[in-house]
């Protein structure tokens, strides 16, 4: 589905390259305006060895366990740094099941975690040392904690668990090289959109002359081919592996950003407004309702995603207004045929705007 060719969403979460692009924009705005506190955040990436990927592919509900374990590993290490068990960082995690291309199943976690912790009173305490110095500790704790939980859930035998604990290198990794400060909203927005991006971009897929499907990928090594070639049925099978289970949430909020705790943090961080500031006067418009309507404005989303304003006339540059919304396919087809016939009859150069 192409975002610019369809007016309505297919309601497919975390898969459709068109609908998920819109959701990524809305998610980034929600993070900045309603959830994230004005403190530095660091981007963490948690990955697991290939020997465990098939387990998460067969049982998708274990992805929740993977996400929880990733945050718990950071929380415990941060609490050790401060030597306090009542503090916790804020975390936003996104579960992704694809790597550099959509045809491989590669479950991993992307997280935005505060560069510090919040006290129960809402006070923010910066880290006494950079997380890069304790990254090895976080990675080791992540490995031990995940294997322990999988063993307790009877998803790993004791022998296989001990064998994984003896691997060197372990196959587990935690990366945390990207730090975003509170005065970098554009970087934060790009990162939030990256965390919730769809599995693939339609522009990277094409059909070869031999009937096979080619997908442009990011090479893992300099000698690796940049195009993955698959039989159409194999490609469809691989792509369908990325469809999340029905009702499964792939974005999670932890610690200070959990729903019940986040309200307390915001209460202590943001000054309370007076009734005259928060309550609209009789007969006036509700400002919060207007803001919510503007956030969902389709034209604004198209501007952010494609950097094209659909409400600006390409002929004169004036702002256009929506006078009707057409949903009947027969009516739409009739209008498009009329525009095409008009374009065919017009001399070259008379119509600067090409009809669809």
Q: Is residue 77 part of a domain?
A: yes
Residue 356 CA, chain-centre distance (Å), reads 31
Q: Is residue 282 part of a domain?
A: no
| pLDDT tens profile 144-160 | 999 999 999 999 999 99
The tokens for 353 are 């705007």
pLDDT for residue 292 is more than 70: no
User: Is the backbone peptide bond immediately before 169 cis, with ω within 30 degrees of 0?
Assistant: yes
Phi, psi of 178 (to 5 degrees): -105, 115
* CB-neighbour burial class of residue 158 (10 A; exposed 0-12, middle 13-18, buried 19+): exposed
Element counts in the chain: helices (H) and strands (E) = 12, 10
Phi, psi of 345 (to 5 degrees): -80, -25
Inter-axis angle of helices 185-195 and 19-30, to 10 degrees? 140
- Provide the residue range defining the domain that includes 16: 3-199+242-269
Tell me whether strands 251-255 and 173-180 are parallel, antiparallel or unpaired.
unpaired
Q: Is residue 214 part of a domain?
A: no
Q: Is residue 343 part of a domain?
A: no
Question: From residue 69, how far is each of 47, 51, 63, 138, 315 by CA, in Å?
Answer: 12, 18, 10, 11, 55
Q: Under the phi-then-psi rule, with left for phi > 0, alpha for psi from -120 to 50, and beta for the rest, what region is 247? A: left
Residue 161 sits in a domain whose CATH number is 3.40.1310
The secondary structure element, H or E, covering residue 214 is: strand 213-216
Question: From residue 143, how far is each of 52, 136, 282, 350 by CA, in Å?
Answer: 12, 11, 58, 66
| pLDDT tens profile 105-134 | 899 999 999 999 999 988 999 998 877 788
pLDDT for residue 242 is more than 50: yes
pLDDT for residue 296 is more than 60: no
Q: Is residue 224 part of a domain?
A: no
pLDDT for residue 2 is more than 70: no
Phi, psi of 79 (to 5 degrees): -65, -35
Q: Is residue 175 part of a domain?
A: yes
User: What is the band of 104 on the pLDDT scale with cuts at 50, 70, 90?
Assistant: confident
- What is the Cα–Cα distance from 122 to 144, expressed in whole angstroms? 31
Phi, psi of 122 (to 5 degrees): 95, 5
Q: Is residue 264 part of a domain?
A: yes
**Into how many domains does the chain fold?**
1
Q: Is the dihedral of CA 253, 257, 260, 261 positive or negative?
A: positive
Nearest partner of 176 among 132, 129, 127, judged by Cα = 132
**67-76, 84-93, 109-118, 338-347, range with the lowest pLDDT:** 338-347
What distance, in Å, lies between the first and last C-alpha atoms of the chain? 16
- Which residues are registered as beta bridge partners of 216? 227
Residues 34 and 291 sit within 8 Å (Cβ to Cβ):
no
Q: pTM of the prediction?
A: 0.74
Residues in the chain: 356
Q: Is residue 303 part of a domain?
A: no
Residue-level pLDDT at 10: 64
| Mean pLDDT across 9-27 | 73
| pLDDT tens profile 175-226 | 998 999 988 888 888 898 888 887 777 777 777 777 777 666 555 445 455 6
- What is the Cα–Cα distance from 309 to 304, expressed in whole angstroms? 9
Question: From residue 251, how far is each of 14, 24, 31, 60 by CA, in Å?
Answer: 10, 11, 12, 14
């Amino acid at each position: 589905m192409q975002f610019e060719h369809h007016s309505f969403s297919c309601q497919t979460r975390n898969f459709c390259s068109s609908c998920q692009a819109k959701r990524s924009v809305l998610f980034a705005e929600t993070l900045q305006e309603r959830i994230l506190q004005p403190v530095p955040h660091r981007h963490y990436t948690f990955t697991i060895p290939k020997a465990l990927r098939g387990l998460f592919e067969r049982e998708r509900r274990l992805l929740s366990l993977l996400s929880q374990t990733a945050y718990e590993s950071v929380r415990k290490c941060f609490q050790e740094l401060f030597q306090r068990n009542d503090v916790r960082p804020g975390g936003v995690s996104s579960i992704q099941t694809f790597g550099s291309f959509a045809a491989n199943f590669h479950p991993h976690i992307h997280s935005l975690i505060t560069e510090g912790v919040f006290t129960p009173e809402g006070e923010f305490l910066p880290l006494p040392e950079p997380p890069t110095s304790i990254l090895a500790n976080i990675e080791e704790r992540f490995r031990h904690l995940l294997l322990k939980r999988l063993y307790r859930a009877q998803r790993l035998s004791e022998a296989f668990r001990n064998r994984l604990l003896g691997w060197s290198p372990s196959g587990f990794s935690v990366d945390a090289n990207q730090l975003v400060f509170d005065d970098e909203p554009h970087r934060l927005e790009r990162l939030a959109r990256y965390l919730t991006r769809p599995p693939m971009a339609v522009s990277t897929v094409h059909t070869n002359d031999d009937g096979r499907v080619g997908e442009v990928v990011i090479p893992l090594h300099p000698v690796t081919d940049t195009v993955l070639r698959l039989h159409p049925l194999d490609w469809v099978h691989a792509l369908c592996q990325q469809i999340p289970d029905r009702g499964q949430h792939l974005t999670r909020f932890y610690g200070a950003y959990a729903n019940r705790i986040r309200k307390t943090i915001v209460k202590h961080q943001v000054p309370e407004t007076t009734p005259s500031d928060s309550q609209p006067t009789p007969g006036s418009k509700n400002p919060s309702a207007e803001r919510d309507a503007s956030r969902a404005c389709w034209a604004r989303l198209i501007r952010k995603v494609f950097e094209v304003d659909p409400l600006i006339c390409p002929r004169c540059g004036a702002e256009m207004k929506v006078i009707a919304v057409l949903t009947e396919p027969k009516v739409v087809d009739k209008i498009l045929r009329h525009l095409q016939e008009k374009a065919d009859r017009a001399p070259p150069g008379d119509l600067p705007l090409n009809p669809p």
